[in-house]
Structure 1
Amino acid sequence: MAGLYIHIPFCTSRCIYCGFYSTTLSEMKDKYVDAICKEIKLRKDYLIDEKIDTIYLGGGTPSTLSAEQLEKIFYCIYNDVYNGCKPFETTIECNPDDVTEMFADTISRLPVNRISMGAQTFCDKRLRFLRRRHCANDVGIAVKRLRQIGIRNISIDLIYGFPNETLEDWQKDISEAIRLGIEHISAYSLMIEEGTPLYDMMESGKISEINEELSRKMYETLIDRMENAGFEHYEISNFAKEGKRSKHNSCYWNSTHYIGIGAAAHSYNGNSRQWNVSDINEYIKNIEVGTIPADKEILDFSTRYDDLITTALRTKDGINLNKLVKEFGIEYRDFLIDNAKQYTDRNLMIIDDNNIRISREGLFISDAIMRDLMHV
């Protein structure tokens, strides 16, 4: 099992909170699509003898591509490189207002069976604050159109912890998400990252972060409401109806190998990590002459172990201790159990059925737990 990720960096406008690589240079779309198709061909042997089981087009905003550009990408995947590819899950990220009747028709003709939409909030005032270009009503319209073309696996992203947001405000967003009847929800606390307009607003005193107690109450409310609505809380920020976990994102948490195509995309094959240059011009220029503009890191034993800590412990399943011994040896298992004792003694971590995982109470300090369990 392996995953294929394709980064589409184009955005009509930038949201104030986003720290992902993106560009508003829409005139470069054709050249960029040509470049990613060429990179797919150049790197066809990166995952030797591994079957592509998931495909994910992320961004940026993949839904800003034309029907012809999307068809070209999928033709390259299915016909030029991975002939006979039959992935379990193919996801494309969309902005709700991009899901027009024309876009839905395009999706119906592509091998896409999962949609991920950035709803973020159902409050128009907060959407304007984020500089999102859709309105709250667009989400429901988009879901209806996607259902009409047979999409039965829809995920939406939500954000909580806006400046001046109340617990009641957040409850309304959760209620609206549940009412839509979608299969998956990813919910994140608003992150204020350096280098974003949101960070500049905080530094200048225009906004302030919500207090830690309210943020915790919002997360507790999220977990309770999602579980009561029949969603499985399978990863720190992710909730799914039965059988609807994100298979592609699970690649990252389960140490499954994946190849990343496009500017700023990351790849992992078990022995090394590499990441493409975060510059569309530099990326295209290199690909056109047949070189991959990427940096690479060879993973030693300790780094691979630390990667396991910071990914698998994000999940409901945690780390299987038998698999840990098989891959790293008894020494690393004992190291983990010994260092986790300070948390298992306080019920912040749990060991059962030969698995170690973070408990619900421990989720609120999960970053600190992971730091303490790392080997370096």
Structure 2
Amino acid sequence: MSGIYIHVPFCKQACHYCDFHFSTSLQYVDEMTDAICTEIIMKKDRITDQVGSIYFGGGTPSILPQKSFEKIFNTLTTHFSVASDAEITIETNPDDLDAKKIAILRQLPVNRFSIGIQSFFNEDLIWMNRAHNAAEADSCIMRSQDAGFENLSIDLIYGYPLLTDEKWHSNIRKAIGLQVPHLSAYSLTVEPRTALAAAIKKGKQVPVNDEQSAAQFISLIEKSGMAGFDHYEISNFSLPGKHAVHNTNYWRGIPYLGIGPSAHGFNGNTRYLNIANNAKYMTQIAAGKLAETVEELDIYDRFNEYVMTSLRTMWGTDLSKIERDFGKEFLNDTIENSETFIRRNWLENKNGTLTLTQDGKLFADYIASELFLIDEQK
């Protein structure tokens, strides 16, 4: 079943590390809602099977008012066949999840929260310029569970200067102790056009330490594993049966529709990318034009994308699929290129499937790039 991603480009304030597309002005929320609904209708013929997942990302979707959600859901259900058991996720911030907001969301088809906790320590949240505090990080999880939202995922960040190993271990224990079934954990990345990058360049912040990030990543793998979590994708950990349906479909190459400014979609052979500008997006949609660029993927693009996404998961890269979908030459090159990493104990070949070892997970992107193939005739 296909998925639908909806990008909600609004936030209360800008986190120092974030380079996602958003605006801190809520002046045009109604107009953006209308544009999103119009784009849904314009793209309704791109999905012909049932929709198995809907994901509201951003930005901070939980900032939207009830009427916006209702309008978007009405548009979705009018123009698509949404499975009765579809996973419907909304990204939320702890400061939005007060009792009133949770009650509103409970009236909607939403059945999963992805909560941007990032840390359970106040000083870290201040350093990140997050809008919530540590007390809200705790209380929003318990409040959501009490309201019946048990299918929760929380985001945590590691590898930043303030995060000692003791604090990181405490964050992991807290998440597990709160009985959250899914964790997404990301090493802090310094993106070029962010407040954090500017502060580091001016010497006002300490650069990220790669050794610290690696050590904290390994400790997360070990401690979550002891608690029964599957490390099913490089940045994602869940109890059995609680894998994120929507994101897992990304990594398995399942088609999905992208709606909203900066959103992208994929149909197996073509990738679509919407313009990352709110005003231009709304203007083009209002004029009856899709605000997207189209990239046709050749066989090398599709092979490289399969390797990049599949290798990040516990299911690995299936060599028989490579032969079936791309041919014998691609298979032979993959086997040959993987041998170096197998000898280093970074990769394993288990019954025809390449999977990363624990050491290999530290170099996932590098290994994938070394397995990429290029068209020599271009």
Calculate the TM-score normalised by the size of structure 1. Answer: 0.97
Partner of 2:57: 58
Partner of 1:284: 282
Partner of 1:185: 183
CA distance in 1, matches of 2:85, 2:262: 24
Q: CA deviation at 1:83?
A: 4.4
CA distance in 2, matches of 1:27, 1:105: 25
Q: Which whole-Å deviations, capped at 9, do the CAs of 1:152-185 have from their partners, x for residues lacking one?
A: 2100000011124321121111111111111100
Q: CA deviation at 1:252?
A: 1.3
C-alpha contact (below 8 Å) 2:120/2:138 kept by paired residues: no
Q: CA deviation at 1:211?
A: 2.7
CA distance in 1, matches of 2:329, 2:81: 43
- Which amino acid letter does the alignment assign opposite residue 375 of structure 1? L
Would the alpha carbon gap of residues 312 and 83 (structure 1) be closer, same or farther in structure 2, given more than 3 Å must change? closer
CA distance in 1, matches of 2:242, 2:40: 28
C-alpha contact (below 8 Å) 1:309/1:370 kept by paired residues: yes
Would the alpha carbon gap of residues 115 and 12 (structure 1) be closer, same or farther in structure 2, given more than 3 Å must change? same
Alignment of 1:1-376 (within 5 A): 1-47=1-47, 49-78=48-77, 80-83=78-81, 85-376=83-374
- Which amino acid letter does the alignment assign opposite residue 223 of structure 1? I
Q: CA deviation at 1:229?
A: 1.0
Q: CA deviation at 1:193?
A: 0.4
Q: Percent identity?
A: 38
Q: Which runs of 5+ in 1 are unaligned?
A: none
CA distance in 1, matches of 2:180, 2:82: 30
Q: CA deviation at 1:25?
A: 2.0
- Which amino acid letter does the alignment assign opposite residue 315 of structure 1? T
Q: Which whole-Å deviations, capped at 9, do the CAs of 1:21-50 have from their partners, x for residues lacking one?
A: 011120100000011001000000112x22
CA distance in 1, matches of 2:107, 2:361: 41
- Which amino acid letter does the alignment assign opposite residue 42 of structure 1? M
CA distance in 1, matches of 2:364, 2:282: 39
Q: Which whole-Å deviations, capped at 9, do the CAs of 1:320-364 have from their partners, x for residues lacking one?
A: 122221111111111111000001122210111221111111111
CA distance in 2, matches of 1:297, 1:87: 32
Calculate the TM-score normalised by the size of structure 2. Answer: 0.97
CA distance in 2, matches of 1:204, 1:136: 29
CA distance in 2, matches of 1:83, 1:161: 42
CA distance in 1, matches of 2:127, 2:316: 37
Total equivalences in the alignment:
374
CA distance in 2, matches of 1:37, 1:14: 26
CA distance in 2, matches of 1:277, 1:338: 40
Q: Which whole-Å deviations, capped at 9, do the CAs of 1:215-269 have from their partners, x for residues lacking one?
A: 2211111111111111110000100011000110111111110000000000000
Helix, strand or coil at the partner of 1:93: strand
Computed over aligned residues only, the root mean square deviation of the Cα atoms, in angstroms, reads 1.1
Q: CA deviation at 1:87?
A: 4.8
